[in-house]
């Protein structure tokens, strides 16, 4: 019967062929527009020139034209054979879908403060990890990379620093799964978008993990339609980001060392002749090597006798630093039908590093599949697999840090001896020739990572939806450090290997039920859900010493085993969450959320925490009373308030514990290690956000946000009397406040057929203030923690320059400072001979310490420009940071004024005080200098403000005529430069240092130029 | 992968029963630690906690290195090098310390951790379900000796001598493991020594003699009490306890004196049972004392060396080796045992007890007995020595001199000067020379300051509670 009817239909219908072209408002032909006969699934798609043709069953059929970002138009055929259509762009461009906590929303309806960064910013950047690309793109987001070690992570802070001693890092969520391991395993090219959740309305649904913001990473999904294969390949060269300050060459260092000896003898009361003789006799021993061909290369004034041959002049930086080669290859396949969609990618990234012994390689694979089982069931899987290998020599002040060695080994020290073997006798890091160690020692790490998450979505009814998902995040890290038996760290024990194996397993299960109901003028959505998650980290480590066979690092080759260790650390969390959203008349938007978290980390008396938020959005331009300004397209006001927590308080901080390893006399022993604190709980944060979004002149998008984040109950080790047996107890005691303003502007300069160009700017101001501490003042290193100050407030003696009469250092006495209780001038005080009118002292201990500003920038942000002209694309991203300070430890090491006699000096030290060079900022140079001139003081604090061209990319889309016959859809070449240019007064390599504003001889940042090609089939 | 599948299944299961056993799900404990409630669930773990207290005692911050070495360089006989020593202990030798120095901090915090750990055992041992009463006595008895030992050492370092003023403020008296939130005031010396005495008397009643000298036994408790009584000038008590502690013990032979003081022997009453595997071999007594391998930075004062007669075998503990130090006397009393730093540290031995008894007997007027005891020590090192015939103060002085000769490097001189309120006179080849009497203000240098960290953290102490002079 059915067949019969269909047949009849065919016979009696008056078939008609229709063709036409589809344009947009600007007269541009639109390819890819869906043209469907209404009421059927029959249809076609417009081609490259916006042309379509199809056959309709009868003259009364209606055609439905639909395209993303435009209105859908229904046109009756009315017996016409040519139908041309113009599709209008949907006015609410704003209404793009964004990924938010536990779901999606439209930007228009969103009541929280969140920023979305799309794949364009992240793709094809020659960096190992996406967060480095985010710098400057998002207001309120601070990204700082202190090391140029490829594969190393960055410090990320959203809206200031929220914690005193617990981690202030945000929560990262990958396709709905909270990440337990490093974010650097993710291939940036797999990312579709990043959403940064900043205020309570946006993030509070993550409860006890949301205090420091949340970063949602959404990976690419397959799209229905023909299968797209995309391959892009990128290769480039990296270099250290700048040359840094100059170091002395061998002649300068030899002469300067002579002067140090000469001055030392004079200070010890010897005659000028004796001092000269002393300096001549000891200069070689001080420097370590005589870099010249003759025994007595210096004249009576310590200057090189002209014409002397220089045999050694090692530039240790040249020996350590090299050009890195970066390769980034990605293959992705995307496609599917309405029922099943697949995205698959394979990525390879390799960075050979800019220093000896440092590199990184990563292979990654992504499979995202979704399948509609039937009309109400959908299942899917998102998986990430990766394997990475890193070689990373240690940073810090140890002898094994090659970066430090490059700065401190003097240029008179040769790399090789006359037999071509490594020379180990340098005076700065004796027995640690970095070139030799790079060959002999090993610092190998590898990581295997799997993040897999599956879900089942049940559309119970048009209003009810249930989604259950389960995921795991597993990283397995192996590390092996090998110190060779002959030189450096392993020499004392005839070689040492230390290995460790960490298995980090996180799991997560969530069940979410949503109800949504739309009426003509309102929309209501409610969500309730449950979530359980946990993490187990197992560590196994072992080491051996005493190696017999050289170059064999495995444990079996060592004959003396050390104490091995193993342990598992776990935590669990059970949560219930809910959220209600209500929109009225597209004018008022209301949202509220509540979450209860119970965590094994919290103390017995505080097992469960409740977190809530309320948010309100108001579309001012929709109000009738609002006058219609021609220039004002859209204005929206947002207000939100809510609470969240930080559960990074350690897994067992609330328990009273006895630890193992207190062995005695061969018997295993236990010892109390931690006092119980059954009240211990999450750190609490209350945040208020007020935001205004404006669209002006159809060209300018502007937003301004004000926020106030009050955190309290901050974890803090409260000092205890020794009588309790413990030095401190972890307690929820501190309080801190971050207030700030963020502004982002985006202006579309030109929008027409051939040219699109836009410019964007954002700026963030944040003030960090400690509100409560248990101890009045805590001095730690370069910092002072106290109520009313920033967490990174510098506190040290204030440098006053050099006394022109004797070359000794001077510090301001600052007797009125509260460093010492009494305000009396010390006997060593005198009036500043440089005329400041203040009292100075040359006795370091008599100067009082002073508050000297903070390492946190006063303002930071980004500036970007993009231009599309016909087939050309140009984009530029700038980042700037203003007003932060750095205590430059590295520079201090190179300005040691003779305290480290064999260590190399910056050429700035050539300006040291002498009787003929009295007005200088560099004190006298004396071997074994006792003046304490290079002790911690504001002498080494620098302004770290900078402006950097983070990225510039020039792309060219080859005209399709060139390759259409090859079945290639798109072919694009691009040239990209990372960190090419920096404007700063900072002396070191890179003003982007650790967030606390101290340097520690880490590998400097890199600048990279890459060339890439992208092919789409 | 199987493990994860199981975990997933288990988690899924948990999910559905979560409402029922939520509390259990949210209880997690580390695998490398034990929660404190479980330590006293069995004798085996409680005994391991006792081992942990000994480990604390043996730490280089306490009796392993700091206490004995500082107790000799705060004297006239031993010095530490000014160079090639990475500055270890230099301000202590200079007797110029400040309340924030680690040399002040470390013994204090180590000692109080030890006391707290011992308190835990003393308070909780009776609740161990599977322990016999003998085992409970053994645990608490040893814990009491440990506590008394630490308190006595801290009192000697951080307060003025008991003999000078028993009512003077001494250390914090914490004998309750439960107190964690309030501060502590400084107790008087009387109270502290009373606590020490009570602990040791109880321990003596609880403990038997033990052959493993790496742990405190009855004899050790008596020996520590003899020391306390000596400080208190309770001469009869000191004589009795010293006598009991050393009764029937065979002294080391003259040859054994040269064996390096690095393993226990017949006259050892307590020795730190050192193992090189889990201790820092460079922070050990031989590392500092033995002339090679390690810091090797201890030297003996020339005038002290001259006090030994040529017939005295102990004069052989000193030698000069020009290549190592052209000017000063090296010390070869404390040797490495086959490997660098590998050495037990003998903390209590019978010779000390005999000298305590000799001193106490001399004070009590039992001169013959005192002379005999003194002769026992002197004649071992010098068989040809003539027995002393001195009496009164002269005899006491001879005994005190003998303590210097016999016990140097073992950590007694500082307290001997202090408890006897002797003048402090450093002359000869010392690189820091000092001279003051008990009446001089400088005498404050013989008492450590209370650590600044303690004053800052302890709400019941302020800078006004600091020792005189700091």
> What order of strands is seen across the sheet that includes strand A114-118?
A114-118, A191-197, A214-219, A171-174, A177-178
Q: Is the pLDDT of residue A881 over 70?
A: yes
Mean pLDDT taken over chain B: 91
φ/ψ region of A263 (left if φ > 0, alpha if ψ in -120 to 50, else beta) reads alpha
pLDDT tier, A127 (very low <50, low <70, confident <90, very high otherwise): confident
Q: Which residues in B lie closer than 8 A to residue A724 (C-beta atoms)?
A: 112, 116, 174, 179-180
Angle between helices B350-364 and B235-246 (to 10 degrees): 150
Q: Does B254 touch chain A (CB under 8 A)?
A: no
pLDDT at B82 over 90: no
Q: What's residue A817's pLDDT?
A: 85
Q: A670 and B45: CB-CB below 8 Å? A: yes
Interface test with A, best of B49, B55, B146 (most A CBs within 10 A): B55
Interatomic CA distance for residues A54 and A113, integer angstroms: 47
Confidence of residue A715 (pLDDT cuts 50, 70, 90): confident
pLDDT number for residue A774: 76
Q: Would you tell me which residues 89-148 of chain B have a C-beta closer than 8 angstroms to some C-beta of chain A?
A: 108-109, 111-113, 115-117, 119-120
Residues of chain B with Cβ-Cβ distance to A472 below 8 Å are: 4, 7-8
pLDDT digits (tens, 9 = 90+) for B188-244: 999 999 999 999 999 999 999 999 999 999 999 999 999 999 999 999 999 999 999
Predicted pLDDT of residue A8 = 40
B187: nearest CA partner in chain A = A723
CATH number of the domain that residue A21 is part of: 2.60.40.1120
Q: Is any Cβ of chain A less than 8 angstroms from the Cβ of B39?
A: yes
**What is the pLDDT at residue A1?**
40
Mean pLDDT of B430-436: 90
Supply the pLDDT for residue A923.
96
Indicate which of B6, B11, B39, B157 best probes the interface with A, i.e. most A CBs within 10 Å of its own CB.
Answer: B11
Assign A456 to helix, strand or coil: strand
**Domain region containing A257:** 250-312+896-933
Confidence of residue B4 (pLDDT cuts 50, 70, 90): low
Check A669 against B116: CB less than 8 A apart. no
Cβ A774 vs Cβ A718: under 8 Å: yes
Among the partner residues B4, B278, B458, nearest to A505 by beta-carbon distance: B4
Residue A10 lies in a domain: yes
The whole-number average pLDDT for the span A106-128 is: 86
Q: Which residues in chain B have their CB less than 8 angstroms from residue A657's CB? A: 30, 33-36
The answer, yes or no, to whether residue A11 has pLDDT greater than 80, is no
Q: Which residues touch B134 (CB under 8 Å, ≥6 apart)?
A: none
The H-or-E segment that residue A257 falls in is helix A250-267
pLDDT, tens only, A984-1012: 999 999 999 888 999 989 999 999 999 99
Give which of A94, A46, A38 is closest to A64, Cα–Cα: A38
pLDDT digits (tens, 9 = 90+) for A237-271: 999 999 999 999 999 999 999 999 999 999 988 99
Question: Is residue A37, in this structure, part of any structural domain at all?
Answer: yes
- Which residues contact residue A5 at a Cβ distance below 8 angstroms, ignoring those fewer than 6 apart? none
Angstrom distance (rounded) from CA B268 to CA B219: 10
Q: Which of A442, A443, A444, A467 shows the shortest CA–CA distance to A454?
A: A467
Domain boundary among A51, A68, A87: A87
Q: How many CB pairs under 8 A join A and B?
A: 203
Query: Could you give the angle at the alpha carbon of A649 between the alpha carbons of A645 and A653, nearest 5°?
Result: 135
**A782 vs A30: which has the higher pLDDT:** A782
Interface membership of B180 toward A (CB under 8 Å): yes
Does residue A83 lie in a domain region? yes
- Give CA–CA dist B160/B153, Å, rounded: 12
User: What six digits make up the tokens of B219?
Assistant: 């004899």
pLDDT tens-digit readout, B409-424:
999 999 999 999 999 9
CB of A497 closer than 8 Å to CB of A482:
yes
Look at residue A9 in the predicted model and tell me its pLDDT: 43
**Probe site for chain B from A470, A563, A658 (most B CB atoms < 10 A):** A658
CB–CB of B36 and A672 under 8 A? yes
**Given this model, what pLDDT does residue A4 score?**
43
Nearest neighbour of B278 by CB, restricted to A534, A663, A723 = A663
Q: Is the pLDDT of residue B384 over 50?
A: yes
B454 contacts A721? CB cut-off 8 A: yes
Contact in structure between B263 and B344 (CB atoms under 8 Å): yes
- Mean pLDDT computed over B84-103: 86
Residues B268-276, mean pLDDT to the nearest whole number: 93
Q: Do A563 and B172 touch (CB under 8 A)?
A: no
The reported pLDDT for the residue numbered A50 is 85
Please report the pLDDT score of residue B51 as a whole number: 96
Contact map slice: B 2-21 vs A, CB within 8 A? 4, 7-8, 11-12, 14-15, 18
- Residue A55: inside a domain, yes or no? yes
pLDDT bracket for residue B97 (50, 70, 90): confident
Q: Is residue A279 part of a domain?
A: yes
- The per-residue pLDDT of chain A, averaged, comes to 90
Q: Does B183 touch chain A (CB under 8 A)?
A: yes
Residue B13's pLDDT band, with cuts at 50, 70 and 90, is very low
CB contact under 8 A, B49 and A658: yes
CA distance A403 to B150: 47
Only one residue has tokens 């938007």, namely: A589
Residues on chain B touching A665 (C-beta within 8 angstroms): 51, 54, 214-215, 273-275
Place A40 in a pLDDT band, splitting at 50, 70 and 90.
confident
What integer is the mean pLDDT of A314-342? 93
Residue of chain B whose Cα is closest to the Cα of A598: B26
A131 vs A215: CA distance, rounded Å = 10
Q: Indicate the residue among A87, A102, A121 that finishes a domain.
A: A87
Nearest C-alpha of chain A: how many angstroms from B247? 26
State whether A667 and B458 contact (CB < 8 Å): no
* 8 Å CB contact between A988 and A244: yes
CA angle B34/B36/B38 to nearest 5° reads 70
| Best residue in B31, B98, B346 for a mutation probing chain A (most A CBs within 10 Å) | B31
Chain A hits for B153, CB-CB cut-off 8 Å, are: none
- Best of B32, B83, B107, B181 to disrupt the A interface (most A CBs within 10 Å) is B32
pLDDT of residue A38: 82
Q: Domain boundary at A31, A66, A87, which?
A: A87
Q: Which two tokens stand for residue B151?
A: 């308190």
Residue B29 pLDDT level (bands cut at 50, 70, 90): confident
Least confident of A301-305, A734-738, A772-776: A772-776
User: CA–CA separation, A957 vs A936, rounded Å?
Assistant: 55
Q: Compute the distance between CA of residue A411 and CA of residue A303 in angstroms, rounded to an integer.
A: 17
Q: By C-alpha distance, which of A743, A740, A744, A676 is closest to A709? A: A740
Going by C-beta distance under 8 Å and a sequence separation of 6 or more, which residues neighbour residue A640? A111, A112, A113, A199, A200, A201, A202, A613, A614, A615, A616, A687, A688, A689
Residue A187 lies in a domain: no
What's the per-residue H, E or C state across A772-805? ECCCCEEEECCEEEECCCCCCEEEEECEEEECCC
In this predicted structure, what is the pLDDT of residue A6? 42
Which of these, B461, B443, B442, lies nearest to B451 by C-alpha position?
B461
Q: Is the pLDDT of residue B5 over 70?
A: no
Residue B6 has pLDDT above 80, yes or no: no
Looking at the complex, report in whole angstroms how far the Cα of residue A179 sits from the nearest Cα belonging to chain B: 16
Q: What is the mean pLDDT of residues A150-156?
A: 88
Q: What is the pLDDT of residues A60-91, one digit of tens each?
A: 888 888 877 677 788 888 888 888 888 877 65
The whole-angstrom separation of Cα A904 and Cα A891 is: 11
The ranges assigned to domains in chain B are 37-465
Query: Is A631 within a domain?
Result: no
pLDDT for A646-664, tens place per residue?
998 889 989 999 998 899 9
Q: What is the mean pLDDT of residues A869-880?
A: 93
Residue-level pLDDT at A762 = 95
Complex ipTM: 0.89
Decide if A662 and B51 are in contact by the 8 Å CB cutoff: yes
- A14 pLDDT exceeds 80? no
pLDDT band at A37 (very low <50, low <70, confident <90, very high): confident
pLDDT tens for each residue of B300-313: 999 999 999 999 99
Q: What is the pLDDT of residues B38-52, one digit of tens each?
A: 999 999 999 999 999
Q: C-alpha A445: how far from its chain's center? A: 20
What is the rounded distance in angstroms from the CA atom of residue A790 to the CA atom of residue B426? Answer: 51
Cβ-nearest to A725 among B27, B39, B112: B112
The domain tally of chain A equals: 2
Query: Residue A384 contacts by C-beta under 8 Å, 6 or more apart in sequence?
Result: A174, A185, A186, A190, A219, A364, A365, A366, A449, A450, A451, A452
Looking only at the bridges linking them, the beta strands covering A588-599 and A565-584 are antiparallel
CATH 3.40.630.30 fits B37-465, yes or no: no
> Per the domain annotation, does A959 fall within a domain?
no
Q: Which of B120, B215, B275 sits opposite A672 (nearest CB)?
A: B120
Question: Cβ of B113 and A726 within 8 Å?
Answer: yes
Distance CA B58, CA B49 (A): 14
Chain B (191-250) residues lying within 8 Å, Cβ to Cβ, of chain A:
214-215
Quick check: B49 and A669 CB within 8 A? yes
Min distance A348 CA to chain B CA atoms (Å): 25
Mutation target vs A (from B1, B19, B43, B48; most A CBs, 10 A cutoff): B48
Q: How far apart are CA B147 and CA B161, in angstroms?
A: 20
Higher pLDDT, A967 or A221: A221
- Alpha-carbon span A781 to A798, nearest angstrom: 15
**Owner of token pair 């070869």:** B332
Residue among A655, A660, A664 minimizing CB distance to B58: A664
Tell me which H or E stretch contains B183: none
CA distance B169 to chain A (A): 15
Beta bridge partners of A794: A783
């Amino acid at each position: 019967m059915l067949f019969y009817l269909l047949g009849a239909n065919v016979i009696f219908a008056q078939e008609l062929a229709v063709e036409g072209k589809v344009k947009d408002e600007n007269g541009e032909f639109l390819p890819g527009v869906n043209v469907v006969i209404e009421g059927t699934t029959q249809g076609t798609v417009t081609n490259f020139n916006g042309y379509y043709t199809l056959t309709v069953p009868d003259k009364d059929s209606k055609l439905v034209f639909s395209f993303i970002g435009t209105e859908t138009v229904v046109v009756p055929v009315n017996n016409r054979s040519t139908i041309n259509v113009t599709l209008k762009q949907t006015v609410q461009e704003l209404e793009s879908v964004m990924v938010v906590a536990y779901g999606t929303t439209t930007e228009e309806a969103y009541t929280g403060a969140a920023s979305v960064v799309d794949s364009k910013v992240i793709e094809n950047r020659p960096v190992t990890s996406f967060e480095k690309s985010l710098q400057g793109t998002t207001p309120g987001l601070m990204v700082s990379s202190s090391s140029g070690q490829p594969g190393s992570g960055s410090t990320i802070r959203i809206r200031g620093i929220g914690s005193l001693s617990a981690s202030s890092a945000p929560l990262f969520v990958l396709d709905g799964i909270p990440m337990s391991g490093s974010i650097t395993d993710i291939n940036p090219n797999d990312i579709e978008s990043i959403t940064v959740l900043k205020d309570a309305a946006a993030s509070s649904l993550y409860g006890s993990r949301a205090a420091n913001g949340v970063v949602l990473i959404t990976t690419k999904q397959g799209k229905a339609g023909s299968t797209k294969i995309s391959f892009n390949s990128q290769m480039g060269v990296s270099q250290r980001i700048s040359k840094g300050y100059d170091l002395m060459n061998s002649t300068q260092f030899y002469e300067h060392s002579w002067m140090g000896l000469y001055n030392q003898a004079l200070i010890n009361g010897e005659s000028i002749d004796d001092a000269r003789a002393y300096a001549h006799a000891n200069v070689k021993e001080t420097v370590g090597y005589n870099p010249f061909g003759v025994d007595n290369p210096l004249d009576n004034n310590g200057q090189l006798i002209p014409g002397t041959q220089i045999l050694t002049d090692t530039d240790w930086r040249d020996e350590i630093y090299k050009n890195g080669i970066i390769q980034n290859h990605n293959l992705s396949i995307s496609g599917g039908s309405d029922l099943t969609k697949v995205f698959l990618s394979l990525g390879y990234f390799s960075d050979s590093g800019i220093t000896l012994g440092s590199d990184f390689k990563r292979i990654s694979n992504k499979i995202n599949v979704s399948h509609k089982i039937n009309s109400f069931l959908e299942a899917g899987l998102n998986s990430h697999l990766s394997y990475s290998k890193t070689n990373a020599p240690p940073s810090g002040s140890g002898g094994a840090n090659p970066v430090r060695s490059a700065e401190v080994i003097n240029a008179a020290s040769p790399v090789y001896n006359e037999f071509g073997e490594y020379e180990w006798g340098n005076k700065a890091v004796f027995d640690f020739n970095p070139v030799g160690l790079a060959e002999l020692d090993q610092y190998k790490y590898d990581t295997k990572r799997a993040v897999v998450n599956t879900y089942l979505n049940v559309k119970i009814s048009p209003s009810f939806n249930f989604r259950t998902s389960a995921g795991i995040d597993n990283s397995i890290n192996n590390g092996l450090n090998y110190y060779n038996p002959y030189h450096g760290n392993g020499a004392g024990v005839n070689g040492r290997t230390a290995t460790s194996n960490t298995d980090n397993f996180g799991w997560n299960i969530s069940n979410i039920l949503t109800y949504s109901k739309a009426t003509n003028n309102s929309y209501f959505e409610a969500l309730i859900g449950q979530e359980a998650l946990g993490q187990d980290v197992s560590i196994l480590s072992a080491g051996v010493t005493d190696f017999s066979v050289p170059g064999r690092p495995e444990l079996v080759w060592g004959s003396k085993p050390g104490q091995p260790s193993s342990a598992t650390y776990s935590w669990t969390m059970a949560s219930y969450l809910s959220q209600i959203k209500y929109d009225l008349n597209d004018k008022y938007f209301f949202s509220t959320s509540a979450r209860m978290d119970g965590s094994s980390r919290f103390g017995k008396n505080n097992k469960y925490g409740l977190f809530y938020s309320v948010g309100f959005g108001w579309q001012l331009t929709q109000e009738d009373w609002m006058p219609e300004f021609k220039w004002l397209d859209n204005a929206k006001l947002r207000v939100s308030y809510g609470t969240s927590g930080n559960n990074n308080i350690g897994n067992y901080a609330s328990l009273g514990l006895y630890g193992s390893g207190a062995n005695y006399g061969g018997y295993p022993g236990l010892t109390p290690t931690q006092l119980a604190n059954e009240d211990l709980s999450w750190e609490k944060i209350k945040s208020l956000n007020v935001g205004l979004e404006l669209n002006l002149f159809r060209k300018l998008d502007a937003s301004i946000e004000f926020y106030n984040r009050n955190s309290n109950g901050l974890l803090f080790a409260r000092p205890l009397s020794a009588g309790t047996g413990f030095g401190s107890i972890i307690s929820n005691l501190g309080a801190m406040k971050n207030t700030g303003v963020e502004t982002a502007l985006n202006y579309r300069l030109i929008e027409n057929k051939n040219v699109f160009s836009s410019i964007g700017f954002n700026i963030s101001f944040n003030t960090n203030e400690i509100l409560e501490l248990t101890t009045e003042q805590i001095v730690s290193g370069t910092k002072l923690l106290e109520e009313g100050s920033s967490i990174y407030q510098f506190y040290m003696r204030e440098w006053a320059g050099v006394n022109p009469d004797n070359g000794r250092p001077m510090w301001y006495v600052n007797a009125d400072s509260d460093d010492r209780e009494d305000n009396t001038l010390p006997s060593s005080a005198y009036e500043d001979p440089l005329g400041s009118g203040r009292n100075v002292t040359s006795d370091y201990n008599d100067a009082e310490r002073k508050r000297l500003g903070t390492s946190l920038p006063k303002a930071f942000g980004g500036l970007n420009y993009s231009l599309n002209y016909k087939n050309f694309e140009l984009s530029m991203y700038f980042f700037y940071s203003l007003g932060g300070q750095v205590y430059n430890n590295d520079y201090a090491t190179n300005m040691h004024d003779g305290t480290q006699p064999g260590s190399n000096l910056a050429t700035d030290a050539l300006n040291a005080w002498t009787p003929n060079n009295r007005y200088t900022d560099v004190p006298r140079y004396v071997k074994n200098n006792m003046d304490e001139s290079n002790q911690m003081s504001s002498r080494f604090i620098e302004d770290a403000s900078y402006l950097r061209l983070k990225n510039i990319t020039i792309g060219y889309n080859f005209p399709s005529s060139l390759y259409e016959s090859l079945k290639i859809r798109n072919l694009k070449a691009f040239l990209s430069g990372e960190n090419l240019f920096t404007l700063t007064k900072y002396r070191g390599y890179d003003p982007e240092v650790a967030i606390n504003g101290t340097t520690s001889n880490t590998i400097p940042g890199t600048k990279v130029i890459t060339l890439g090609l992208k092919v789409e089939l | 992968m199987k493990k994860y599948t199981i975990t997933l299944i288990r988690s899924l299961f948990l999910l559905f029963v979560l409402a029922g056993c939520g509390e259990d799900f949210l209880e997690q404990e580390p695998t490398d630690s034990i929660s404190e409630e479980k330590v006293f669930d069995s004798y085996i773990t409680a005994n391991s906690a006792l081992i942990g207290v000994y480990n604390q005692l043996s730490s280089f911050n306490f009796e392993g290195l700091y206490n004995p070495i500082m107790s000799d360089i705060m004297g006239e006989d031993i010095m530490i090098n000014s160079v090639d020593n990475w500055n270890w202990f230099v301000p202590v030798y200079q007797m110029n310390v400040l309340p924030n120095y680690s040399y002040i901090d470390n013994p204090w915090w180590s000692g109080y951790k030890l006391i707290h750990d011992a308190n835990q055992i003393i308070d909780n041992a009776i609740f161990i379900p599977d322990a016999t009463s003998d085992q409970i006595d053994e645990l608490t008895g040893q814990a009491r000796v440990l506590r008394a030992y630490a308190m006595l050492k801290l009192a000697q370092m951080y307060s003025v001598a008991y003999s000078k003023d028993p009512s003077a403020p001494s250390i914090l008296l914490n004998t309750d493991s439960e107190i964690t939130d309030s501060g502590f005031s400084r107790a008087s010396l009387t109270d502290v020594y009373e606590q020490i005495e009570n602990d040791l008397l109880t321990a003596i009643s609880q403990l038997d003699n033990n052959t493993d000298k790496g742990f405190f036994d009855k004899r050790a408790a008596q020996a520590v009490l003899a020391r306390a009584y000596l400080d208190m000038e309770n001469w009869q008590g000191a004589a009795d306890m010293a006598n009991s502690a050393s009764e029937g013990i065979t002294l080391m032979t003259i040859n054994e004196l040269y064996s390096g003081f690095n393993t226990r022997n017949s006259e050892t009453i307590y020795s730190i049972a050192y193992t090189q595997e889990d201790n820092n071999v460079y922070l050990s007594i031989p590392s500092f004392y033995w002339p090679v391998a390690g810091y090797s930075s201890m030297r003996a004062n020339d005038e002290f060396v001259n006090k030994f007669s040529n017939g005295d075998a102990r004069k052989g503990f000193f030698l000069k080796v020009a290549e190592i130090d052209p000017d000063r006397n090296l010390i070869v009393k404390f040797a490495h045992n086959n490997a660098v730093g590998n050495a037990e540290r003998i903390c209590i031995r019978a010779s000390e007890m005999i000298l305590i008894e000799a001193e106490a007997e001399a004070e009590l007027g039992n001169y013959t007995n005192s002379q005999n005891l003194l002769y026992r020590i002197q004649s071992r090192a010098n068989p040809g020595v003539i027995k002393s015939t001195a009496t009164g103060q002269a005899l006491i002085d001879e005994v005190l001199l003998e303590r210097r000769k016999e016990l140097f490097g073992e950590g007694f001189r500082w307290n001997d000067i202090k408890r006897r309120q002797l003048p402090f006179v450093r002359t000869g080849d010392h690189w820091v020379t000092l001279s003051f009497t008990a009446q001089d203000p400088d005498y404050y240098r013989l008492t450590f300051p209370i650590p600044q960290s303690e004053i800052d953290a302890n709400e019941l102490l302020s800078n006004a509670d600091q020792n005189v002079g700091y």
